[in-house]
Structure 1
Amino acid sequence: MIQTALTPFQQKLASPLTKKGITVLQINLGKRCNLACSHCHVEAGPKRTEELSPEICQQLIEIIQRFPEIKIVDLTGGAPEMNYGFKPLVEAARANDKQVIVRSNLTIFFEEGFGDLPEYFAKHKVRVVASLPCYLEDNVDKMRGTGVYDGSIKALQWLNQLGYGKEPDLIVDLVYNPQLPTTEKFSQTPDQIKLERDYKQYLKESFDISFNNLFTITNIPVGRTKLYLERKKLYAPYLQFLESHFNTGTVEHLMCRDEISIDYLGNVYDCDFNQMMNLPAKTRGGENITVAKLLEADRLDLIGEVQTAAYCYGCTAGSGSSCGGALV
């Protein structure tokens, strides 16, 4: 690939990136996790201890109770289930008639003290979005650790037994991530509709597993993915590859337009990637925003423009990428 200077992301946009109405509250409960996946942009793992405090948890419950425009509470981590405040936030959201998404690694079900989770999810009608970066064992274990595929299959079968993937209000979705590149022969994320068909056929025939949707997510160059690319001297070429596939049609649908992302300290960001790169959301006056400030102002629309960076090309390349998969 010919080395060229990267165009600043803002220059690709016809106008500044602004928020629409906030409908999604995404909360990163902390960095505790039973896995340490090679592509994890959060850099979570078993040795991490950072997590939500009781004070911030209470503020978030107040946000959930106070703002009816929030339709979805999206809980992530680390393994969100391992971090303080998980069940109180699930129950507050469901009591206020909001959809709850838990971004689960599935293997958490088999850790001591977490065996009640599948039944708990079903009881509260939690939507499970589970990482399964390939339908083949070897690829999954390379990215996520030996035995993770087997655990994930058993967990999906357990969820199916409870009605997930079968009953309309028990939704389980899977997330595909590409393998991390080893050379400059980069490729775009595969077609989501076709890949979903392949996943469904293989998992049904091999394990009698049913699921609802497959979300294809581009590897965004932040966290461990960024560190990996830098080690391989692929970081700049990868960004250039993403820029070369920039698709204007994705901009209208970007997840940062209708969500706010909260970290375990109560700071507010436009999205999860900005959170990991410490690029906070700002008021029109340029001040950083916190959950406490949202409560004090009694409104969610404090953010001026969405903060952008070079890695935003990851969400706007090709069919686009978001926490809900392809954008167009």
Structure 2
Amino acid sequence: MTTTPSTTINTNITPFHSQLNAPLTKQKIKVLQINLGKRCNLACTHCHVEASPKRTEELSTEICEQLIEVIHRFPQIKIVDLTGGAPEMNYGFKPLVAAARQHNKQVIVRSNLTIYFVEGFNDLPEYFAANKIRIVASMPCYLADNVDKMRGAGVFDDSIQALQWLNQVGYGIDPSLILDLVYNPQLPTSEKFSLTPDQNKLEQDYKTFLQKHFNIVFNNLFTITNLPVGRTKLYLERKKLETSYLQFLELHFNPHTVENLMCRNQLSVDYLGNIYDCDFNQMMDLPAKTLNGDALTIAKLIEAGSLDLINEIQTANYCYGCTAGCGSSCSGALV
């Protein structure tokens, strides 16, 4: 009898919810994270969204209008976090920025940097600055070979030019123009796994190198663990490393990270308007649910007049990735 990878994992890994002393509960929603679609000019090897230039899925006019209504109606939302794919390439990006800025909400764009050199998107650095958008940019290493290996040939050079461009319009210099970088570790080639490095020390290494070699400045570095989701999951399965990687993450489970998990106060919305507790659950099709077990959509939240309909967060074994070591989130280490 053939055993599927997921069954194998379940028999070798302590279920994540068993590590917790109590159910993982939702707090008051403050962050609306929107995945606008899977269109992207890159196809990075570690992408949990599995975005690429060949993907066409994106936000519809109807869902965009619903999201704008939510932004207008609920002052409890403090942050509108736009992701993708390359969020800038997908329908609804600028209308959502306009709605959020109209209500003085912080807007975050998770940018791959190289999009600025694609025809039709050359205005983005100036547009971001004019709207005081916080940029969280993928920069998985400060060495060219490592970046190009993960993200494609020439991506490092384009990223350096993009960061210099952002500095020229004030990012990393003007206190109101925040530029953050994201470190992802290389995908493992053997069972010699490691946790992400100390975030503060690595940030200093990045700042020293980029300033010295390229005269680039930025605000913060976020270290993010590769979760076995999307292309990372497929890669680990091909290398027959998924089970051992999850065991490694479980071994380094840190209960002190749980209180600060990003899923506690955010809603993750896909391009179809479905609601999830986090972006990883979204990619694994594990929807957020009400006390009655009903899956949620943006339309249902509008109808109910509340964003706080979720009591218990849906978890899976890949949650060990967010709780191993110092923890991992869209804003980097948790402790």
TM-score, normalised with respect to structure 1: 0.99
Cα displacement (A) at 1:5: 2.1
Q: State the distance in 2 between where 1:100 and 1:256 align.
A: 18
Cα displacement (A) at 1:95: 0.3
Does residue 309 of structure 2 align to residue 315 of structure 1? Answer: no
After superposition, the C-alpha distances for 1:251-276 in whole angstroms (9 at most, x for unaligned) are 00000001000000000000000000
Amino acid at match of 1:147: G
Counterpart pick for 1:168 among 164, 175, 179? 175
After superposition, the C-alpha distances for 1:206-251 in whole angstroms (9 at most, x for unaligned) are 0000000000000010000000000000000000000000000000
Question: Residue in 1 aligned with 2:280?
Answer: 273
Does residue 19 of structure 2 align to residue 20 of structure 1? Answer: no
Question: Residue in 1 aligned with 2:37?
Answer: 30
Question: What's the secondary structure of 1:239's corresponding residue?
Answer: helix
Counterpart pick for 1:204 among 200, 205, 211? 211
After superposition, the C-alpha distances for 1:61-99 in whole angstroms (9 at most, x for unaligned) are 000000001000000000000000000000100001100
Counterpart pick for 2:243 among 217, 231, 236? 236
Q: State the distance in 2 between where 1:78 and 1:231 align.
A: 23
Amino acid at match of 2:99: A
After superposition, the C-alpha distances for 1:83-133 in whole angstroms (9 at most, x for unaligned) are 000000001000011000000000000000000000000000000000000
Matches within 5 A, 1:98-137: 98-137=105-144
Please list every run of 5 or more consecutive structure 1 residues that lacks an aligned counterpart in the other structure: none
Question: Residue in 1 aligned with 2:95?
Answer: 88
Matches within 5 A, 1:181-196: 181-196=188-203
- Give every structure 1 segment of 4 or more consecutive aligned residues whose post-TM-superposition deviation is greater than 2 Å: none
Contact 2:41 2:115 in 1 (8 A): yes
Does residue 13 of structure 2 align to residue 6 of structure 1? Answer: yes
Q: State the distance in 2 between where 1:313 and 1:253 align.
A: 14
After superposition, the C-alpha distances for 1:155-214 in whole angstroms (9 at most, x for unaligned) are 000000000000010000000000000000000100000000000000000000000000
TM-score, normalised with respect to structure 2: 0.97
Matches within 5 A, 1:216-255: 216-255=223-262
Question: What's the secondary structure of 1:101's corresponding residue?
Answer: strand
Q: State the distance in 2 between where 1:109 and 1:197 align.
A: 26
Matches within 5 A, 1:45-84: 45-84=52-91
Contact 2:199 2:222 in 1 (8 A): yes
Identity of paired residues, percent?
76
Q: How many residues align?
A: 326
Question: Residue in 2 aligned with 1:97?
Answer: 104
Question: What's the secondary structure of 1:205's corresponding residue?
Answer: helix
Question: Residue in 2 aligned with 1:306?
Answer: 313
Contact 2:64 2:96 in 1 (8 A): yes
Q: State the distance in 2 between where 1:295 and 1:322 align.
A: 27
Q: State the distance in 2 between where 1:62 and 1:99 align.
A: 17
Q: State the distance in 2 between where 1:18 and 1:266 align.
A: 22
After superposition, the C-alpha distances for 1:131-162 in whole angstroms (9 at most, x for unaligned) are 00000000000000000000000000000000
Contact 2:262 2:278 in 1 (8 A): yes
Question: Residue in 1 aligned with 2:51?
Answer: 44
Question: What's the secondary structure of 2:293's corresponding residue?
Answer: coil
Question: Residue in 1 aligned with 2:3?
Answer: none
Contact 2:12 2:243 in 1 (8 A): no
Contact 2:58 2:91 in 1 (8 A): yes
Q: State the distance in 2 between where 1:133 and 1:5 align.
A: 30
Question: What's the secondary structure of 1:215's corresponding residue?
Answer: strand
Question: What's the secondary structure of 2:173's corresponding residue?
Answer: coil
Q: State the distance in 2 between where 1:252 and 1:261 align.
A: 18
Amino acid at match of 2:278: C
Q: State the distance in 2 between where 1:304 and 1:159 align.
A: 40
Counterpart pick for 1:283 among 283, 290, 296? 290
Question: What's the secondary structure of 1:87's corresponding residue?
Answer: helix
Contact 2:252 2:325 in 1 (8 A): yes
Question: Residue in 1 aligned with 2:5?
Answer: none
Amino acid at match of 2:292: G
Amino acid at match of 2:131: H
